[in-house]
Amino acid sequence: MKNEKTCPELVSGLKILVTGGAGFIGSNIADAYIKSGHSVVVVDNLSSGKKENINPKAKFYEADITDKKQISQIFENEKPDIVNHHAAQIDVRKSVADPVFDAKTNIIGTINLLEISIRQKIKKFIFASSGGVMYGECGKIPPKELQTPRPLSPYGITKHTVEHYLDYYSKVYGLKYIIFRYGNVYGPRQDPHGEAGVVAIFCNRILTDGEINIFGAGEQKRDYVFVSDIVLANLIALHKGENEIFNIATGRTKSVNNLFCELKKITGYLQKPIYKPPRTGELFKSSLNVKKAQQKLGWRAKIDFNEGLKKTYDYFKSRIEASNRITE
Ligand SMILES: NC(=O)c1ccc[n+]([C@@H]2O[C@H](COP(=O)([O-])OP(=O)(O)OC[C@H]3O[C@@H](n4cnc5c(N)ncnc54)[C@H](O)[C@@H]3O)[C@@H](O)[C@H]2O)c1
């Protein structure tokens, strides 16, 4: 029989407050926590998240993490054991256009949660950071967690800043935390109308017979990781990994052209992509070394690129078919 240390689903009965639990990643995590026998409280202001993503078994508060009074009241009512913090302003371009708003949500909002968390003596704080924007332009060797961060956008700076705050709250107040620096996450429930989330955008264009734009030569590379692998890391985080940072990705990169070709094969899409001028400031390569998570957490990405793309495409297809049935 597997022991508890290697089987996250055997840890159950915790009350977990998931911020951003109406969003893409947070809602998938909330579902998995509920399935594993935990009770979940979702806090989300629905700025990009959707009510339909919220698990009906979760208790939902429509609230903004920048409103400390309201958030304090929620913690007071609910007394969570764990805080899983996924609420954020996630748009890199928006962070460039409005760095004050970005910092208010991502830094001030998080400090609010940290202040309340230490007062309430929560058992662990799980934080969604970003590997994709943390290390700047990557060379041949994928960066490990110890590499000096070089974020190139206000969004990346806010994510890195929060990592420092977590270290501070841990050293001064004894808060236990885990930080995950994700690669480029994709899968069901990602917003296909956003600026980022190329897999969701391409799937949506293919299904609506739209054009696919590729910026630059399409050779920019990313480490694409399927959302169920992110969920698994967040299950493991309930009982492993203390006061540490982990890159969470596949350790392999794919270009946008690779992505387009794979989707073409899966879907039979016939149109050619339209190549547009490169976007200023876009990284050419972002990659991540994931050995630490494999060695210390026993975590590894299970879903390969092709399988993940197929699952994502099938999800968007079923959604479009369902909405067509409603309008018929
Ligand atoms: N998607 C990725 O590839 C990726 C990569 C690295 C890190 N992350 C991080 O993972 C987390 C989730 O990202 P996602 O892709 O699911 O994005 P998302 O936009 O789907 O989810 C973010 C959620 O936070 C909510 N939110 C935003 N501001 C809020 C506020 N002030 N108060 C309360 N709720 C608020 C939104 O309504 C949304 O439901 C974010 O912290 C993001 O930075 C995502």
- Does 109 contact ligand 1 (Cβ within 6 A)? yes
- Does 86 contact ligand 1 (Cβ within 6 A)? yes
- Within 174-224, where are the H helices? 198-207
Tell which residue, 47, 52, 59, has the closest CA to residue 18: 59
Q: Distance from the CA of 264 to the center of ligand 1, in angstroms?
A: 29
Among protein residues, the one whose CA lies closest to atom 11 of ligand 1: 86
pLDDT at residue 196, rounded to an integer: 75
pLDDT at residue 32, rounded to an integer: 98
pLDDT at residue 2, rounded to an integer: 40
Choose one of 18, 24, 52, 110 to mutate for the ligand 1 pocket test, by most ligand atoms within 8 angstroms of C-beta.
Answer: 24
**Which one of 33, 61, 135, 155 is the catalytic residue?**
155
Q: Distance from the CA of 33 to the center of ligand 1, in angstroms?
A: 18
How far is 162 from 254, CA to CA, in rounded Å?
29
- Does 249 contact ligand 1 (Cβ within 6 A)? no
pLDDT at residue 5, rounded to an integer: 46
pLDDT at residue 194, rounded to an integer: 72
Phi-psi label, residue 187: left if phi above 0, alpha if psi -120 to 50, beta otherwise: left
pLDDT at residue 11, rounded to an integer: 67
- Does 199 contact ligand 1 (Cβ within 6 A)? no
Which residues, 6 or more positions from 191, have their beta carbon under 8 angstroms from its beta carbon? 24, 48, 197, 200
pLDDT at residue 326, rounded to an integer: 77
CB neighbour class for 157 (10 Å; exposed up to 12, middle 13-18, buried from 19): buried
Reply yes or no on whether 155 is catalytic: yes
**Residue 133 CA: which ligand 1 atom is closest?**
6
Among protein residues, the one whose CA lies closest to atom 30 of ligand 1: 64
CB of 135 within 8 A of CB of 186? no
B/e letters for 313-322, b = 16+ CB within 10 Å, e = fewer, are bebbeebeee
pTM over 0.85: yes
According to DSSP, the residues that pair with 246 across neighbouring strands are 180
Choose one of 42, 65, 75, 86 to mutate for the ligand 1 pocket test, by most ligand atoms within 8 angstroms of C-beta.
Answer: 86
Among protein residues, the one whose CA lies closest to atom 23 of ligand 1: 20
- pLDDT tens for the chain, 328 residues long, are 344 444 554 567 999 999 999 999 999 999 999 999 999 999 999 999 999 999 999 999 999 999 999 999 999 999 999 999 999 999 999 999 999 999 999 999 999 999 999 999 999 999 999 999 999 999 999 999 999 999 999 999 999 999 999 999 999 999 999 999 999 999 999 998 876 799 999 999 999 988 999 999 999 999 999 999 999 999 999 999 999 999 999 999 999 999 999 999 999 998 999 999 998 888 899 999 999 999 999 999 999 999 999 999 999 999 988 888 777 6
- Does 185 contact ligand 1 (Cβ within 6 A)? yes
Domain coordinates in residue numbering, the chain? 11-183+226-249+288-302
pLDDT at residue 176, rounded to an integer: 98
Is it true that domain 11-183+226-249+288-302 has CATH number 3.40.50.720?
yes
